[in-house]
Amino acid sequence: MSTSEIVPQALEGERIDRVVAVIGGFTRSDAALAVDNGKVTIDGQVVTSRSRRVHLGNEIVVDATPTVVVVTLEPDSSIRFEVVFEDADVLVVNKPPGLVVHPGTGTVKGTLVHGLLARYPDLAALAVGDQDIRPGIVHRLDKGTSGLLMVGRTPEAVASLVKQLAARSVERRYVALAWGRFSARAGLIDAPVGRSDSDPTRMAVSASGREARTRYEVTHQYEHPEATALVACRLETGRTHQIRVHLAAIGHPVVGDTAYGGAKRTIPSPRVFLHAATLGFTHPVTGERLSFTSEVPKDLAAVLSTLS
């Protein structure tokens, strides 16, 4: 199979092996192999180096077929997570850091979904259509983010939770440790978020992005070893990396966030300092308003213990 693409602005200056991976749906190892085997050309010339940089307008032709990765939803009882609420319709899970929520590119097993299926086999009935690889999942947390996540156990519950998210009636509050001193103790960041023009794997504030709103309140200010603030953030929308992008955009990246400028040696953090601490929603069947809280986990609490 041959794939042909013109290099867009977003991939200007990138390595050819990475570009092949992005435009062709290849793994990085398959992309590198395609280059090594002379299966990639730039403007008609065979590429001989994986590190060759591409430029806007170059025509990339890949004469290779990506490896097909089959995702299976085999239950996995080795996946560890805490369930803080369950009934016949809804689950609320406290997700540990480092756990991917559902299968996707680069992750085909060992996800929260695989663990949920081992504990709640009835979720398998939801693995149809749009829910094929994420049965019951209505929202996500990044791999490195810990905290509360709701899961629907019936088609009706899933539909209700999705509707509540769309109506912005779900309460989602996060705790973040951000660099610097905020000029205001509370505020609203109202800025659209979309794919970065310079790096399609990252998000950015962009005029062409989707509406994104984050309310924040500084709950504690630290000065040593460097100025940081503990911030409570409430999502009004749920864009990818929204809190991380928004706080970075106003000059206060999240501590430990290597993607958005928040990693510094002065305050080492084992991961992005972001925890989904509060989750509130209306029960899909009973109509009762439910609210749950989760304490900052030990790894992040250890970071706070070094601050003053």
Q: Per the confidence metrics, is the pTM higher than 0.75? A: yes
* pLDDT tens readout for residues 250-259: 999 999 999 9
- Within the chain, all domains assigned CATH 3.10.290.10 are found at 2-63
pLDDT band at 70 (very low <50, low <70, confident <90, very high): low
Question: Residue 128 has what DSSP assignment?
Answer: S
Q: How far apart are CA 248 and CA 169, in angstroms?
A: 26
The CA-to-CA distance between both ends of the chain, in Å, stands at 59
- What values do phi and psi take at 301, rounded to 5? -60, -35
105-138 burial by CB neighbour count: b if 16+ within 10 A, else e? eeebeebbbbbbbebbeebeebeeeebebbbbbb
CB of 292 within 8 A of CB of 94?
Answer: no
What per-residue confidence (pLDDT) applies to 266?
96
If you count them, how many residues does the chain have? Answer: 308
**Residue 40, burial from CB neighbour count under 10 angstroms (0-12, 13-18, 19+):** buried
Fold for domain 2-63? 3.10.290
What per-residue confidence (pLDDT) applies to 17?
87
Range of lowest pLDDT (28-32, 33-37, 38-42, 147-151): 28-32
- Within the chain, all domains assigned CATH 3.30.2350.10 are found at 69-167, 168-308
Q: Is 256 left (phi over 0), alpha (psi -120 to 50) or beta?
A: left
Percent of the chain at pLDDT > 90 equals 71
Q: How far apart are CA 10 and CA 176, in angstroms?
A: 29
What per-residue confidence (pLDDT) applies to 183?
93
Fold for domain 168-308? Pseudouridine synthase (3.30.2350)
Q: How far apart are CA 7 and CA 286, in angstroms?
A: 53
Range of lowest pLDDT (127-141, 182-196, 232-246): 127-141
What per-residue confidence (pLDDT) applies to 264?
93
- What values do phi and psi take at 74, rounded to 5? -75, 130
CB of 229 within 8 A of CB of 182?
Answer: yes
Where is pLDDT greater, at 294 or 130? 294
Mapped onto helix, strand or coil, the DSSP state of residue 10 is helix
pLDDT band at 11 (very low <50, low <70, confident <90, very high): confident
Range of lowest pLDDT (41-55, 258-272, 281-295): 41-55
Q: Tell me the one-letter amino acid at 103.
A: P
Q: How far apart are CA 227 and CA 188, in angstroms?
A: 21
Q: Rounded mean pLDDT of 184-191?
A: 97
What per-residue confidence (pLDDT) applies to 8?
85
Domain 69-167, classified CATH 3.30.2350.10, yes or no: yes
* pLDDT tens readout for residues 92-147: 999 999 999 998 766 778 999 999 999 999 999 998 766 688 899 999 999 999 99
Q: Is the pLDDT of residue 1 over 70?
A: no
- Judge whether 142 counts as a catalytic residue: yes
Q: Where are the beta strands (DSSP E) in 32-166?
A: 40-42, 45-46, 59-63, 82-86, 90-95, 146-152
Q: Is the pLDDT of residue 68 over 60?
A: no
The residue with tokens 């809804």 is 90
pLDDT band at 69 (very low <50, low <70, confident <90, very high): low
With a CB cutoff of 8 Å and minimum separation 6, the contacts of 160 are 152, 282, 284
What per-residue confidence (pLDDT) applies to 196?
81
What per-residue confidence (pLDDT) applies to 302?
98
Annotated active-site residue in 30, 36, 43, 142: 142
